[in-house]
């Protein structure tokens, strides 16, 4: 269960809190059953440096270029002011130059509160583009210029940010690809695969494990198989959660989504039935998943492990009847109550149920594959 307290001591603290809340609100981050520790740990192993709130890989260059320009100003206040001005100028330039998808600030304009620097700051460190510690504001206040960025960071194009676009120069793509490849991860294997065999297979894949296993090293094949098994196995619990919510909505005419209640019940019942027909038990290896996740510094707690173990046991014993299995339903309802405040558990609180939009985390976990795939696509398109 996550609690965020707003502490108003400086702009950097506010930025950090906003980023955390944005991440929690992202579609992939919806976590009704408390699987986030495993999901995020596997995502970090598969696609390090990515986030559900990232849009385009180009910001991994835009932010350092802006910070380098702003660091030349004489005083901390002027550096902070100029960096902020450049970030807004970047958004305007991208739109003016014909870019639409993925432009941070395209709609909000100068009302934007989540600036690209805050969104990409952690990823820049993970990719070893940025060195050292400190928030975006702290580095500017300190006037850090030398040693902050990678030595081989490409210079910005002429008239940046006015000339900014989402088309990479060859030297930009090579630099970013090298950063990904150096990680030795699934992400690295895919960057090499795309450079060698083209981007078509990657672009068409809804999940990384749909790509030919020959693209991956043996170790990364194993990790990807663990991730796929956990995602497919636990999707059943996520679908049952939504089915129970749909049934409760359908039975309560005052709930916001009641007009679609019966249709939602039919949809989730059918999808859960299809899941039961397709899931393979031999891919479920939660103990090995937890062992891998611990390498990221995360430790799946006992209640999470118990929930997963009980779900697997129930699915194995009554797979075809899992949608109506009373014990399975009780397990899912109990799990939501276990991780949420009482007034936010939809399956046991009518007020919370009224805020349900008809779907919440029903899809298969993809471990930020959508972000990683977009980054790989971006790197493949050079001028």
Q: Which two tokens stand for residue 6?
A: 């707003």
Distances (CA, A) of 242 to 306, 339, 359, 379: 21, 17, 6, 37
Q: Check residue 299 and give its pLDDT.
A: 96
Q: What is the CB neighbour count within 10 angstroms for residue 89?
A: 15
Give the residues of the chain that fall short of pLDDT 50.
1-27
Q: Which residues contact 262 (CB under 8 A, 6 or more apart)?
A: 250
Cα gap 113→80, rounded to integer Å = 15
Cα gap 188→255, rounded to integer Å = 47
Q: Check residue 278 and give its pLDDT.
A: 93
Cα gap 361→365, rounded to integer Å = 8
Residue by residue, DSSP assigns 85-147 as HHHHHHHHHHHHTT--TT-TTTTTGGG--S-HHHHHHHHHHHTTSB-S---HHHHHHTT--TT
Instruction: With beta carbons less than 8 A apart as the criterion, state whether 272 and 367 touch.
Output: no
Q: Check residue 129 and give its pLDDT.
A: 97
Q: What is the CB neighbour count within 10 angstroms for residue 209?
A: 22
Q: Check residue 30 and give its pLDDT.
A: 76
Tens of pLDDT, residue by residue over 335-376, are: 999 999 989 999 999 889 988 889 999 999 999 999 999 999
Instruction: Give the pTM.
Output: 0.89
Residue by residue, DSSP assigns 321-359 as TTTT-HHHHHHHHHHHHHHS-GGG-TTT-HHHHHT--S-
Angle between helices 218-251 and 36-46 (to 10 degrees): 150
Q: Check residue 332 and give its pLDDT.
A: 98
């Amino acid at each position: 269960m996550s609690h965020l307290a707003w502490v108003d001591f400086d702009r950097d603290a506010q930025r950090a809190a906003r980023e955390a809340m944005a991440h929690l609100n992202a579609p992939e981050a919806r976590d009704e059953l408390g699987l986030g520790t495993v999901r995020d740990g596997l995502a970090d192993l598969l696609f390090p440096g990515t986030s559900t709130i990232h849009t385009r890989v180009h910001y991994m260059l835009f932010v350092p270029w802006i910070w380098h320009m702003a660091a030349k100003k004489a005083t901390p206040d002027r550096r902070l002011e100029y960096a902020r001005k450049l970030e807004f100028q970047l958004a305007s330039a991208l739109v003016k130059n014909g870019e639409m998808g993925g432009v941070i600030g395209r709609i909000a304009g100068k009302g934007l509160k989540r600036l690209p620097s805050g969104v990409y700051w952690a990823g820049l460190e993970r990719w070893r583009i940025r060195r050292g510690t400190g928030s975006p504001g702290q580095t500017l206040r300190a006037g850090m210029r030398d040693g902050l960025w990678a030595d081989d960071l490409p210079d910005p194009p002429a008239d940046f940010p006015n000339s900014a676009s989402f088309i990479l120069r060859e030297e930009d793509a090579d630099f970013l690809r090298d950063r990904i490849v150096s990680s030795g991860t699934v992400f690295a294997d895919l960057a090499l695969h795309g450079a060698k065999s083209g981007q078509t297979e990657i672009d068409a894949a809804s999940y990384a494990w749909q790509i030919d296993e020959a693209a991956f090293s043996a170790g990364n094949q194993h990790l990807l198989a663990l991730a796929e098994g956990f995602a497919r196995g636990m999707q059943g619990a996520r679908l049952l959660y939504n089915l129970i919510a749909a049934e409760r909505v359908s039975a309560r005419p005052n709930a916001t989504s009641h007009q679609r209640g019966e249709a939602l019940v039919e949809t989730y019942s059918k999808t859960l039935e299809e899941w039961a027909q397709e899931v393979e038990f031999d891919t479920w290896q939660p103990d090995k998943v937890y062992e891998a996740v611990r390498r990221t510094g995360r430790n799946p707690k006992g209640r999470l492990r118990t929930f997963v173990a009980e779900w697997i046991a129930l699915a194995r014993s009554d797979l075809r009847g899992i949608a109506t299995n009373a014990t399975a339903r009780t397990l899912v309802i109990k799990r939501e109550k276990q991780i949420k405040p009482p007034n936010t558990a939809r399956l046991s609180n009518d007020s919370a149920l009224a805020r349900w939009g008809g779907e919440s985390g029903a899809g298969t976990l993809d471990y930020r594959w959508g972000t990683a795939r977009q980054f790989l696509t971006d790197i493949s398109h050079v001028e």
